[in-house]
Chain A
Amino acid sequence: MLLIQCPACGVEAEETEFAAGGEAHIVRPGPGCTDAEWASYLFDRKNPRGVHYERWRHAFGCGKWFHMARHTHTLEVFGVYAADVLDPPQEIKDRIAERTAP
């Protein structure tokens, strides 16, 4: 069970109030890409055992999309951040580095 804090409305709730939206930060290939690149964009998804960046939606709450970094094995949530960014913010990266340091 994940405890998630929605960055839009500030509610901290368990995961049943949210909907997972799949892997985050996927880059759409430009015009003229190969079929293989396009197929990869459509279908290939990471499934790491470890740190994972995902899109989530506060489906039963305020309805907003956001990003979340979590650990797929320990289920630790490293943090949430805005939906309209291309990369995780530095504070999230720092926290992940701190928490996953050997």
Chain B
Amino acid sequence: MSDLDLSLARAALDVTPPPGLGAQVEAIASRGMVAIRGDLTDAGFVAALQAATGCAVPEIRQSTQAGDTRVLWMSTDEVMVFCEWGAAPGIVEAFMEKAGDTHVLALDVSDARAVFRVSGEKAWRVLAKGAPVDLAPGQFGTGEIRRTRIATVAAGIVKTGDDEFEVFCFRSLAAYLWNWLCVGAGAESLSDL
């Protein structure tokens, strides 16, 4: 399902930015995602999240990581789990079982969003063209997440490494964002940076 949609997104623009310009864009075709809502400070919530993902509850606008699993702070009452494709149902089950009577919600939303990786020394400049966020090194730290807009669509930006970002948006907007990122990381766009 996800592979199909993203291959359509790729086909919408034939030109993938060539490597070597300072920024590369790639689609992450298979990424499990779990949306979890509840009181992030509740002891039952913290314990259930730890048990299900191995991650602590992230600080505000930060993410925590354990192996291939990353927990993103989405809102004051919501976190998102990024995990391996196929691992999401198990995380939902483990979380809900451990949470018991705690008032929480966990849902496998692996098909809801598309994820792209933008990497390279100019990666932050590509994103900065469309997002009202200061993404410069030193201003936006590794592990930090920012929900914002890119061009005209809602998107989330996570800094996963020194020169590496993951960008996610609703899957219905994946083709648009893919095209936008490819143009932004293309030769014409990067030549003046």
Contact surface of A with B, Cβ cutoff 8 Å: 8-11, 13-14, 16-17, 59-64
Q: Are B74 and A14 in contact (CB under 8 A)?
A: no
- With contacts A11-B61, A13-B132, A16-B132 known, what are 17 further pairs, Cβ within 8 A? A8-B75, A8-B76, A9-B61, A9-B75, A9-B76, A10-B60, A11-B146, A14-B132, A16-B149, A17-B132, A59-B154, A60-B147, A61-B146, A61-B148, A62-B147, A63-B75, A64-B76
Complex CA distance for A60 and B146, rounded to whole angstroms: 10
Complex CA distance for A60 and B76, rounded to whole angstroms: 14
Complex CA distance for A9 and B59, rounded to whole angstroms: 11
Task: Tell me, yes or no, whether B133 is within 8 Å of chain A by CB.
Answer: yes
- A contact face: mostly helix, strand, loop, or mixed: loop
- Interface range on chain B (Cβ under 8 Å from partner): 10 to 19
Taking the nearest CB of chain B, how far is it from the CB of A27, in angstroms?
Answer: 27
Complex CA distance for A64 and B60, rounded to whole angstroms: 14
Q: Give 1 or 0 for each of B120-154: 1 = CB within 8 Å of chain A CB.
A: 00000000000011000000000000111100001
Q: Are A13 and B76 in contact (CB under 8 A)?
A: no
Chain B contacts for A17, CB-based, 8 A? 132, 148-149
Q: Which of B39-69 contact A (CB under 8 A)?
A: 60-61
Taking the nearest CB of chain A, how far is it from the CB of B128, in angstroms?
Answer: 13
| 3 A-B pairs with least C-beta separation | A62-B75, A60-B149, A61-B147
Chain A contacts for B133, CB-based, 8 A? 13
Chain B contacts for A60, CB-based, 8 A? 147-149, 154
Given A9-B61, A10-B61, A14-B132, CB of A62 within 8 Å of CB of B149 = no
Q: List 11 A-B contacts (CB under 8 A).
A: A9-B60, A9-B76, A13-B133, A16-B132, A17-B148, A59-B154, A62-B75, A62-B76, A63-B75, A64-B75, A64-B76
